[in-house]
Amino acid sequence: ENESTLAIVKPDGISGNYTSSIRKIILESGFSVQKELTVHLDEDSVRSFYDEHSTKSFFPSLVKYMTSGPVLIMVLQKVNAIADWRALIGPTDALKAKVTHPHSIRAMCGQDLGRNCVHGSDSHDSAEREISFFFTKTYPGIEP
Ligand code: CMP
């Protein structure tokens, strides 16, 4: 069944010039890019997007990281998009990914547990929430 998921190329992915490699992997893996938006997020947006992590010890560094530069936010569509995009990006910890999933996107462009260069929704509920979080009247995105 066709589904949509939210992908983010995080500030380190953009500043490390990984955008075109990531886009190539996305298209070659059979996803279509339904919407996309490049934006420099402010602290309030990041805090609210990552609300479920607000009590974690790494939250301040997550907010600092995600506001450190522009991000590319995309809605990806294909059959089984949510699980397939998570598989493609690899484990959260990019250092581990380099060992256990060397062909994953995080192994390619991530640096460590925090700075892992890409995001993917982890469930149907998160995908719905995250897509509507960014693609609203305030951040309408564009049709590619
Ligand atoms: P992501 O899966 O996009 O969403 C939560 C983010 O928080 C995660 O990627 C990492 O960037 C960061 N993160 C998760 N766990 C940790 C951790 N233990 N220490 C530092 N950052 C983390």
Torsion of CA 65, 96, 72, 5, to 10 degrees: -120
Q: Which pLDDT does position 136 carry in this prediction?
A: 77
**One pLDDT digit (tens) per residue for the chain, 144 residues:** 899 999 999 999 999 999 999 999 999 999 999 999 999 999 999 999 999 999 999 999 999 999 999 999 999 999 999 999 999 999 999 999 999 999 999 999 999 999 999 999 999 999 999 999 999 756 555 555
Q: Is 119 in the pocket of ligand 1 (CB under 6 A)?
A: yes
CA of 78 to the centre of ligand 1 (A): 25
Q: Which pLDDT does position 11 carry in this prediction?
A: 98
Measured distance CA(16)–CA(79) in Å, rounded: 30
CA of 123 to the centre of ligand 1 (A): 16
Measured distance CA(84)–CA(42) in Å, rounded: 29
Query: Which residue type does 131 have?
Result: I
Give the pTM. 0.94
Q: Is 119 a catalytic residue?
A: yes
* E runs forming strands in the chain: 2-9, 32-39, 71-79, 118-120
What is the interface pTM, i.e. ipTM, of the complex?
Answer: 0.94
- Cα 98 to chain centroid distance, Å, stands at 18
The structure tokens listed for 25 are: 């992997």
Catalytic residue among 40, 53, 103, 119: 119
Torsion of CA 87, 12, 27, 49, to 10 degrees: 70
